[in-house]
Structure 1
Amino acid sequence: MNIAANPVVEADQTVYLKDYQKPSFLVESIDLDIQVYDDYTHVLSKLVMQRQTAGDLVLLGRDLELKSISLNGKPLSESEYKLDSEQLVIANAPEHAVIETQVIIHPESNTQLEGLYQAGGDLFVTQNEPEGFRKITFYPDRPDVLSVFTTRVEADKKFPVLLANGNLIEAGEAGSDRHYTIWQDPTKKPSYLFACVIGDLAVMKDHYVTSEGRNVALEIYAEEKDIPKCRIAMEALKHSMQWDEEHYGRAYDLDNYMIVATSAFNMGAMENKGLNIFNTSCVLADEEFTTDAAIMRVQSVIAHEYFHNWTGNRITCRDWFQLCLKEGLTVFRDQSFSEDLQSAAVQRIDDVAVLKGHQFPEDSGPLSHPPRPDHFVEINNFYTATVYEKGAEINRMMSTLLGREKFRAGTDEYFKRHDGQAVTVEDWVAALTAGSGIDLSAFLTWYNQPGTPKLEAQGEYDAAAKTYRLSFKQSLKTHPKYPNLKAVPIPVALALFNAETGEQLTLNSSVLFENGVKDGVYLFDQDQASIEFSGVEAKPVVSLLRNFSAPVNLDFNYSDEELAFLMQYETNGFNQWQAAQTLLERILLNDHASEIYVQAMQNTVPDLINKDPLLVSRLFDVPTEGYLGSRIDENYNPVLIQEKRNALLSQLALAFGGFCKETYLALDPDSQKEFSQAMGVRALKNIMLTMLARQGDTEAFDLAHQQYQSTGNMSERLGALRVLVWNDAPQAKATLEDFYARFKDEALSLDQWFMVQAAHPNATAETLAYLTSHSDYDLAVPNRIRSVSGGLNANPVNTWSFGVQHFIQLAKYLDEKNPIVGSRLLQALSRWYTLAEPQRSTVKTELEALKPQVKSKNVVETLNSMLNV
């Protein structure tokens, strides 16, 4: 019987957290037999099940052709079970049930990249989070059903690699030209963590001895030509294993750890137990073929998926509403790991830039939701910046409040209490509370309501009493679905500086009606409160939310001069950057004078270059057009924002004059011993080159072309290419042709070729048509789609003109082929309602016209949310 795919979304398909019920049956063990043939795959499963509560035995299944089913050895007729497009139900099942099924599936035609699918002619892989396993076999496919998996994988010998989770316990012949392997994972896991891989791949091997003495075989599988690009990932994996032992006391628990790279993957990577499947963009790294930023991302994602072994796998989610439990905590852990790889200040800057560039706009628009949503139609739509990045910030706040030792005590208690369980956010906070001895229950409010809090602060100096008082007030924008929004606990990290000398002052505080400042952090958890510092000899300059201690919008009555002061004298690199960003927002959104910012940059940059060139490169950040647009809630005019931003960048470049060329020529990344230092030098060198071009110095094009030709480093080569292409330099066309000739067989590098052209500030509809009709543009490969769509979306002027139809047509096409990617790409248009007329009405009409043309739960839910403003 064939099962229909993608049923039309109905109102009653909404799933609510409040309706959670335990599954009626648990699975003690599952034996899987997956046999891959050219035009179909045969899957046999044996589930040993035990009743837990009253109710029918429910197995979930989608797109499965059921060939047979038996209960406790007795074949069942069609009258003995109910089957529809989503589930198979057996009423009155006995307390102990052994269910055996045989199904046919078609991975060779699976374009949605969920379940088992063919990722190219010589590779089959799985993606089962969140609900892909039900496309492989009938199973209670939910995260609170944990079982021991034994998996037999069989295929033609043209696929020499046959992998699954756990330890290899048997391998052999399976008749003429076929072979098999059998794997057993001794750790109970939910079905979303199941993985198998069938393909023709090469492998890089290494090993790691854990702190417990286990010798773990490490293997990274990729195409033969890409194996040399796995070296950085392998070193990052070993570093991650050591880091987790040292910082969290967590050692790895299996005899092998495998990673498989594929370009046909919707996600960045997946933490399947012991067998991680990665997008190639998150595992392949080499200075010749990938940028420094991509190398950092590879190291971060390798760490992220490894850290999931404990925060996600050994302890998993009770239900998908708890997604932020595993993802928010693991993002926080990988961010902390990455702080050890580069300038900690720059890592924090980069993390907050992502938060403000993606999560803050999400929180202020129609797609706003709590980090732990209370309802959904399609769970894939909630793999969002709010769940991941805001979830990480909640964990960071609790860590900041507890301090390193108490936070570690809390995590130790969490692992002790819940190893092998599927748990909730409440369980996590309770374990942190018990382990640390500090009540953190108030932080649950952060998990349960949407929106970015506004933190208003005012400073008042009393010269006679020599006191400085800070008054705080918090508020949240009203939300129609969440009428009872509450005050949240906000850790406010702060410092006072002598306004004359720049010296940081010692804090002597007393709080009116509340606790005091501890270790430079004040916990503000009321609607309003005040704090007072004594012994302050002169009016200070205050620095608030140091290191971005809470994900809030700060409204403080800084003068422009005070922000310029903080740019120069703050000892926290993040807050130097934050002061610059605040000043730039005032200039670009509120028409403040720009001269004070330019002067502050001239005062700050020269002394910092030798200390932290990477931080200097970030100080040159000017908020993107997209971020600036997200700060405007009505009558948004993308062209006006672009003009203001370009004028400021040109002013900054001209003000630095000969400094740009002098610095560019002096910077030598090859002389740096550490990668992080060389990365900073390269980043700053590219900025100086960009500023030279903005000065109108045509010699910049010669320098860019020389840099492009002479380097073997992708960051330098791509930086030069951008300068040439985005300024329509005489060398641009030939250099683009050269880049294509060099890298046409390197998929990740070729993605950059597409992105550079799509992101051209003056790209046109013809540019987009050329790229999307190119022979190397492939709608079956998410990375290639994102290279063009992401480049286009870098320029809101282009997005909101000819780009609207691009995103709508993509959503329409992918609605059937790959609705997960289609839904996410459509979100580029989520803030349509802020546009000035007549553009606003035009885009709304186009979005409404899309509604009757899509049917997947993914796209329909996103579109309905976007239009419901």
Structure 2
Amino acid sequence: MDIARNPERPDANPEMADAAPEPQAPATVRREDYTPPAWLVPEIHLDFELGLEVTKLRTTMKVERNPDGAADRTIHLCGDGIAVRELTVDGAQAEGWTMSGANLLLPLSGDAAEIMVETHLHPSTNSQLMGLYASNGMLCTQCEAEGFRRITFFPDRPDVLSRYTVRMTGSKADFPVLLSNGNCTEAGEDGDTHYAVWHDPWPKPSYLFALVAGRLVSRRDSFTTMSGRKVDLAIWVREGDEDRTGHAMESLKHAMRWDEETFGREYDLDLFNIVAVSDFNMGAMENKGLNIFNTRYILANPDTATDADYDAIEGVVGHEYFHNWSGNRVTCRDWFQLSLKEGFTVLRDQMFSAAMGSAPVKRIEDVRILRAAQFPEDSGPLAHPIRPDSYQEISNFYTATVYNKGAEVIRMMHAMAGEKAFRKGSDLYFERHDGEAATCEDFITAMEDGAGLDLRQFRRWYEQAGTPRVTMRAEHDADEGAVTLHFTQAVPATPGQPDKKPMPIPLRIALFDREMRRHGGEKLLMLDAAENSFRFTGCAMPPVVSANRGFSAPIVLDADMSDTDLVFLAAHDDDSFARYEAQQQLLTRELLGRDADGAGGDRRAAIADALGAVLDDTRIDDLMRGELMTLPAISFLIEQAVPADPGALVAARDGLREYLGTRLSGPLNALYERAAAVPYDLSAESRGARKVKTLALSLLSAADAAQGARLAQAQYRAADNMTDRQGAMMVMANLDVAEREELLADFHRRHAGDALVIDKWFAIQASASHADVLDHIAALADHPDFTMKNPNRVRSLFMTMAGNPAAFHDESGRGYTMIADLVIALDPINAQTAARFVPALGRWRRIEPKRAAMMRAALERIAARPRLSKDVREQVGKSLED
């Protein structure tokens, strides 16, 4: 699954609302308390009578005692916001059953039974978007992590695997298309209604169940697997959107072929369906044979989607498809093992996207996301290992740590093993655990046995939270022509883990000869202690050390390097990430106001010279040039300066942009003109040209607002694609010029009715840094196109604002108040989405005292509200803990 999951409250069901008590303090679930299920459900049959207002469901499950489970004569069936309408055991009315909170406890006399339970669901009132819900007249489901219990009573845990047969009956007019997991084995009609029966031959956990019914049209294609089997492919969308599914279909076919060639994984059904849904809490869901996607990760054409949108579609389509093996065929034993499927699958989608495009640029993008989202998580009150020890609400652990850091941890295994040995390890993992609910330990053991690695100490990456900080110092011995690299490491204390052990860190390095501008080959060092030293000969002169090349380990590296050395690496390093990193380090030092050294004392001039060299360097393509032109994000800078003054950082960044735009106006104008002449297509050359064009426009606008406004207007008017149009609008939105409102109004008129593009319109304005941005955001919250019921729309306005330091960290504290107000208002509607906004306020410990006090006060105001969901309550409670 891409992104996050699950809330759930009893008031989603009107039958339960009046009886819903004040929520009790949520229980803490601990990994150490895991026990196998007492009962298994090898077969389940779901019979749906579909309706938007009321859907009736009769669930028949064959259950049997688990020989590996406890000798419990009572089967525990999870429920959430549903009521028992009828309950039978082996055809007779059930007796002796009780309710424990929302859960059904049913005593059974034998070792096997057939249980039937009837429930009534209310899709139209299910604003939480978990379980079965309605979206624009369509019925769809979302069951990960614990949404299935909102559909029927069931042992809703990932280690209970069942074969599903699903029968759906509904109005032909309202639900002409009936979809579920697996293959359609029967269909028919009776007057105004019709039915379809779907059977999935592969056992799966309940979180992978899916159903979609509604008025849909499809783009169809096929794929022939490496064994010669034909697979029918279909992408289902609302009528009128089918012309925007071509890129998603091509991405799917590329992903299927890549997974065969790279991991040897072949698709295992005769049909693969994707459905695009406009109301969705996350990016997409990997349900077996029936992936359900947020429309933003399916629909694209040049007039509505940016280059970044095209990349995201390719990556998310690949991610969900790769889950067919890393998540479906081999699933999680329990939710503490979530990174088993998500971390591994993120790595796989990163590798896929790198293979489809620019591998160096993709690596930089992945690291930027890690630093912007996961590093702050690792240093804050919500820090947790990639395999957590406990939780209150599992949806809160669909985090950057589990996903992105989880991917980096497995990437380190790949680096240590090498490509061929890593493939042996992954093959062994899939072979050993096919059809099972596995653990992170199972994966590590398969890598040890298959790849020949010793991962005893490496397991600490699964056990310890926090980002290791590594210090590097080079000591040159001129007499012996040798250099010794000294490394020290420390893992900061995190909640519940005050004392840490050294982590095993694979570090790629190269030693550059300053005069020859080359190195003698890359080396992989293993840091495995609090202090490590490595000696290298053949260094008559002190080398320039290029370290953590390719970002071989997710660490913070503090290298004892002069500005001169960083300028050298920024100009000459042959590792694209290391070159980018040297540039970023120079920029970071300048923005944090640290004293210059070794570069003539004028770091700004050195940065301008280095950037000027980047603009003129014909050896690099524009996609990489764009990365080297990008300044560090304020969120990254806040992590480097504690306590941070966000206002001062914004001012410093704006000042540097103005300086660079002025100093390099000639080369930037030349670059802009060259890039503007490249015609639109999806080639790397054309995409790179659009990337550097907007970056050049942004710097020129910082130096000369009038010139920037003229160029931005011209670019907007001439644009034949969304990338150029949105890029111009983002620059214009930051300028205090009369034409700004004119172009914003034109953008809205041009794309009125297209929800995904109107999301961009909201986000463009919420990302602006002009003085009136908070007033504009408040007005947009009252705009007729804004709704609290659609997660995409809420995120486009308020998540963008929370990520905009000029707005969120406004010295008045108004940004904090707006986010707190949003969380309070959104929690009863969609708790999972509401909880995603809390971590921004939870960063108060990293911020200077005045703002920190206002952020904490906003959290306390949320905490004081009655009837908070488990999702929000857990996030707020941890954010306030001392």
Q: Distance in 2 between matches of 1:240 and 1:272?
A: 17
- 1:703-718 to structure 2, matched below 5 A, reads 703-718=711-726
What is the deviation of 1:841? 2.0
Q: 1:771 to 1:6 in 2, by over 3 A?
A: farther
1:197 to 180, 191, 212: 212
| Contact 1:560-1:596 within 8 A present in 2 as well | no
1:642 to 650, 654, 663: 650
Aligned to 1:605: 614
| Contact 1:613-1:677 within 8 A present in 2 as well | yes
Aligned to 1:431: 446
1:577 paired with 2:585, answer: no
User: Could you state the TM-score of these two structures normalised by the residue count of structure 2?
Assistant: 0.94
1:45 paired with 2:48, answer: no
1:723 to 731, 737, 740: 731
Aligned to 1:220: 235
What is the deviation of 1:607? 4.2
Q: Distance in 1 between matches of 2:120 and 2:167?
A: 16
- 1:424-463 to structure 2, matched below 5 A, reads 424-463=439-478
Aligned to 1:26: 40
User: Could you state the TM-score of these two structures normalised by the residue count of structure 1?
Assistant: 0.96
Aligned to 2:787: 778
Q: 1:7 to 1:537 in 2, by over 3 A?
A: farther
Q: Distance in 2 between matches of 1:623 and 1:686?
A: 17
- 1:536-555 to structure 2, matched below 5 A, reads 536-555=539-558
1:796 to 805, 813, 830: 805
1:110 paired with 2:126, answer: yes
Amino acid at match of 1:631: Q
Q: Is 719-728 or 663-672 further displaced after alignment?
A: 663-672
Amino acid at match of 1:648: L
1:259 to 267, 274, 283: 274
Aligned to 1:319: 334
For residues 341-385 of structure 1, give each alpha carbon's deviation from its aligned partner in whole angstroms, at most 9, with x where no partner exists: 222111011000000001000100011111111000000000000
Amino acid at match of 1:48: K
What is the deviation of 1:482? 1.6
1:688 paired with 2:696, answer: yes
Aligned to 1:464: 479
**Helix, strand or coil for the counterpart of 1:760?**
coil
Q: 1:29 to 1:719 in 2, by over 3 A?
A: same
| Contact 1:822-1:859 within 8 A present in 2 as well | yes
What is the deviation of 1:606? 3.5
Aligned to 1:162: 178
1:823 paired with 2:813, answer: no
Q: Distance in 1 between matches of 2:548 and 2:590?
A: 21
1:95 paired with 2:111, answer: yes
- 1:251-400 to structure 2, matched below 5 A, reads 251-400=266-415
Q: Distance in 1 between matches of 2:860 and 2:619?
A: 54
**Helix, strand or coil for the counterpart of 2:799?**
helix
Amino acid at match of 1:18: E
What is the deviation of 1:640? 0.9
**Helix, strand or coil for the counterpart of 2:650?**
helix
What is the deviation of 1:92? 4.4
What is the deviation of 1:587? 1.2
Q: 1:101 to 1:422 in 2, by over 3 A?
A: same
Amino acid at match of 2:828: E
Amino acid at match of 1:275: L
What is the deviation of 1:720? 1.0
What is the deviation of 1:213? 1.4
Amino acid at match of 2:135: A
What is the deviation of 1:212? 1.4
Aligned to 1:512: none
Aligned to 2:91: 73
What is the deviation of 1:783? 0.5
Q: 1:599 to 1:759 in 2, by over 3 A?
A: closer
**Helix, strand or coil for the counterpart of 1:225?**
coil
Q: Distance in 1 between matches of 2:506 and 2:527?
A: 6
| Contact 2:383-2:495 within 8 A present in 1 as well | no
For residues 521-565 of structure 1, give each alpha carbon's deviation from its aligned partner in whole angstroms, at most 9, with x where no partner exists: 111111111111111221100011001000111011011111111
Task: State, as a whole percentage, how many aligned pairs show the same letter.
Answer: 40
What is the deviation of 1:6? 7.7
Q: Distance in 1 between matches of 2:588 and 2:879?
A: 26
Q: Is 36-45 or 386-395 further displaced after alignment?
A: 36-45
Provide the aligned C-alpha RMSD in A. Answer: 1.7
2:635 to 606, 612, 626: 626
What is the deviation of 1:805? 1.7
Q: Distance in 2 between matches of 1:603 and 1:503?
A: 22
| Contact 2:165-2:197 within 8 A present in 1 as well | yes
Q: 1:230 to 1:311 in 2, by over 3 A?
A: same
**Helix, strand or coil for the counterpart of 2:156?**
coil
What is the deviation of 1:91? 2.7
Q: Distance in 2 between matches of 1:677 and 1:753?
A: 27
| Contact 1:57-1:91 within 8 A present in 2 as well | yes
Q: Distance in 1 between matches of 2:485 and 2:641?
A: 28
For residues 637-666 of structure 1, give each alpha carbon's deviation from its aligned partner in whole angstroms, at most 9, with x where no partner exists: 221111111111111111212111111111
What is the deviation of 1:610? 5.9
1:659 paired with 2:659, answer: no
Amino acid at match of 1:25: W
Q: Distance in 2 between matches of 1:413 and 1:596?
A: 54
Q: Is 773-782 or 85-94 further displaced after alignment?
A: 85-94
| Contact 1:63-1:105 within 8 A present in 2 as well | no
Amino acid at match of 2:380: G
Aligned to 1:862: 875
Q: 1:672 to 1:340 in 2, by over 3 A?
A: farther
**Helix, strand or coil for the counterpart of 2:413?**
helix
2:518 to 503, 513, 516: 503
Amino acid at match of 1:767: H
| Contact 1:580-1:597 within 8 A present in 2 as well | no
| Contact 1:126-1:196 within 8 A present in 2 as well | yes
Q: Distance in 2 between matches of 1:38 and 1:119?
A: 9
For residues 118-149 of structure 1, give each alpha carbon's deviation from its aligned partner in whole angstroms, at most 9, with x where no partner exists: 012x2111000000000001111100000100
- 1:506-545 to structure 2, matched below 5 A, reads 506=521, 520-545=523-548
1:248 paired with 2:263, answer: yes
Aligned length: 852
2:202 to 162, 187, 192: 187
What is the deviation of 1:441? 3.1
**Helix, strand or coil for the counterpart of 1:251?**
coil
| Contact 1:7-1:856 within 8 A present in 2 as well | no
Q: 1:245 to 1:531 in 2, by over 3 A?
A: same
Q: Is 314-323 or 81-90 further displaced after alignment?
A: 81-90
**Helix, strand or coil for the counterpart of 2:241?**
helix
1:562 to 547, 565, 579: 565
Amino acid at match of 2:299: L
| Contact 2:511-2:520 within 8 A present in 1 as well | yes
**Helix, strand or coil for the counterpart of 1:761?**
coil
Q: Distance in 1 between matches of 2:194 and 2:678?
A: 49
Q: Distance in 1 between matches of 2:20 and 2:342?
A: 27
Q: Is 363-372 or 623-632 further displaced after alignment?
A: 623-632
Aligned to 1:511: none
Q: Is 271-280 or 46-55 further displaced after alignment?
A: 46-55
Unaligned runs of 5+ in 1: 507-518
Q: 1:833 to 1:93 in 2, by over 3 A?
A: farther
- 1:826-845 to structure 2, matched below 5 A, reads 826-845=838-857
What is the deviation of 1:33? 0.7
